Amino acid sequence: MDQRLQLITLGVRDVAASKRFYVDGLGWSPLLELDDVLFFQVGPGLVLSLFGADALTADAGLPDPAASAAALPGRITLGRNVPTEAEVDAAVAKAGAAGGTILKAPMKAFWGGYHGFVADPDGFAWEIAYNPGLVFADDGTVRFTEVEAD
Amino acid sequence: MDQRLQLITLGVRDVAASKRFYVDGLGWSPLLELDDVLFFQVGPGLVLSLFGADALTADAGLPDPAASAAALPGRITLGRNVPTEAEVDAAVAKAGAAGGTILKAPMKAFWGGYHGFVADPDGFAWEIAYNPGLVFADDGTVRFTEVEAD
């Protein structure tokens, strides 16, 4: 897990309600908009994603907030993209060795890439991903490309 | 609240334990390290801050997770820096008008700047700050400078 963060994912109760706030209310322009997820570029090489909370909880292996009175970190993940699947394996292993809790061992992701999730000591979940469909250019711009999902 | 995010703050249970994970375990280099907070540059113009959870909860006006079974968003804030106090006022007002919940109306911050907090529809807290001590350069580098606190 290198010192780099490119993607912040908020698990939201209602993506349509989030869209009314961020797009209609604040005037933000999505980078990509699907039925159940919105992506915004929010800085050089930086993307904020709004994703259904239940889907995020399931996908990232997050603890169910309702099952824990403490539930400190809630439904949010911090994302780091690496150039290969092998680097996902290595980064997840390194974070586990550093005392992180592996929430989801590296595996094929439903969106066509490869990823794993590791929680830091407070349970904040980092996603380490190889995503051939999401390109972070050297100049800080970000774009999505077509990828063949399995 | 413009489409820009420069600071992610995680409210952690024990800053020393976080340091053991991020610095000793993962080998990250802090941008600034104080007794009760750690800052890391994690991208061009992007800073991750680890701050005591109780201090963050109090400072940002976050709901107490223990008081709510749902407690979806937990103790995390998303930060945006603007160049003037007047722009803090304007951004917080705009977010409120867009349906956000103002957690903390703009005011002088204990660290010498000026800030307000607004929650999005899920309770994710955005900090809008004027911080003369934190400089985001055009080339993406970030640095802290000395500021006279009130």
Compute the distance between CA of residue B2 and CA of residue A22 in angstroms, rounded to an integer.
10
Two tokens at A26?
């604040």
Q: What number of C-beta contacts closer than 8 Å exist between A and B? A: 158
Residue B55, judged by CB atoms within 10 A of its CB (0-12, 13-18, 19+), counts as middle
Distances (CA, A) of A38 to A11, A19, A96, A140, B77: 11, 8, 30, 19, 19
pLDDT at residue B66 above 60?
no
Compute the distance between CA of residue A96 and CA of residue A101 in angstroms, rounded to an integer.
6
Whether residues B48 and A5 touch (CB distance < 8 A) is answered with: yes
Could you tell me the residue ranges of all domains in chain B?
7-144
Whether residues B72 and A74 touch (CB distance < 8 A) is answered with: yes
Nearest C-alpha neighbor of A18 from the set B66, B119, B8, B104: B119
Compute the distance between CA of residue A107 and CA of residue A114 in angstroms, rounded to an integer.
5
CA-based radius of gyration for chain B: 15
Banded pLDDT at B149 (limits 50, 70, 90)? low
* A-chain residues near B21 (CB < 8 A): 98-100, 120-121
Banded pLDDT at A148 (limits 50, 70, 90)? low
CA-based radius of gyration for chain A: 15
Distances (CA, A) of A76 to A54, A62, B74: 11, 9, 9
The residue among A39 and B6 whose pLDDT is bigger is A39
The residue among B16 and B2 whose pLDDT is bigger is B16
The pLDDT, as a whole number, for residue A62 is 65
Considering only the beta carbons, identify the residue of B44, B65, B74 that sits closest to A76. Answer: B74
> Would you list the DSSP string of B74-119?
-SEEEEEE-SSHHHHHHHHHHHHHTT-EEEEEEEE-TTSSEEEEEE
Closest CA–CA distance from residue A12 to any residue of chain B (Å): 6
Banded pLDDT at B67 (limits 50, 70, 90)? low
The residue among B63 and A39 whose pLDDT is bigger is A39
Backbone φ and ψ of A72, nearest 5°? -55, -55
Compute the distance between CA of residue A54 and CA of residue B28 in angstroms, rounded to an integer.
32
Whether residues B10 and A44 touch (CB distance < 8 A) is answered with: no
* A-chain residues near B79 (CB < 8 A): none
Read off the pLDDT of residues B86-132 as tens digits, 9 standing for 90 and up: 999 999 998 888 878 888 899 998 888 999 988 877 777 788 889 88
**Which residue in chain A is spatially nearest to B48 when comparing CA positions?**
A5
In a mutagenesis test of the A interface, which of B2, B10, B24 is the best target, namely the one with the most A β-carbons within 10 Å? B10
DSSP state of A88: H
Give pTM, 2 decimals: 0.72
In a mutagenesis test of the A interface, which of B9, B19, B23, B26 is the best target, namely the one with the most A β-carbons within 10 Å? B26
Compute the distance between CA of residue B34 and CA of residue A95 in angstroms, rounded to an integer.
24
Closest CA–CA distance from residue B36 to any residue of chain A (Å): 15
The pLDDT, as a whole number, for residue B73 is 47
The pLDDT, as a whole number, for residue A149 is 52
Nearest C-alpha neighbor of B102 from the set B91, B113, B114: B91
Domain boundaries A7-144, corresponding CATH code: 3.10.180.10
The pLDDT, as a whole number, for residue A55 is 81
ipTM score here? 0.71
Read off the pLDDT of residues A76-87 as tens digits, 9 standing for 90 and up: 778 788 899 999
